[in-house]
Amino acid sequence: QADGMSEVGNSTLTTHVLNTATGLPAAGLVVHLAQLQEPGPQWTELAQRRTDADGRCQPLLAPGQATAGTYKLHFETAEYWQGLGHTSFYPFVEVVFIITDPAQKLHVPLLISPYSYTTYRGS
């Protein structure tokens, strides 16, 4: 029965932010999700979250909310680093990606340090 799994299951978008300078989750980092309106270049904000102590936040798209299209995760990294007493080379990080199959679960992690970042399509 898929009903009990719907929260975790299909068509959700999740992220996880890790501070690679400390090896710890990036807690309290603000994340915005926007979708590109076709024809562009207008972005419509869909969600805003703040990462928890584990560097995670509630799914950015609820089951059934995703549609095919181009999306952007905007991570407020400068505010995060300032909170730790560091300056950051990157004032924010934007990860733009395409959802082709709205029923597929997407996980887009971000690894950050004051002078670098890495992202990948997770599972």
Give the residue numbers of the binding site for substrate. 16, 56, 120
Which residues share a beta bridge with 47? Answer: 33
Instruction: Enumerate the known binding-site residues.
Output: 16, 56, 120
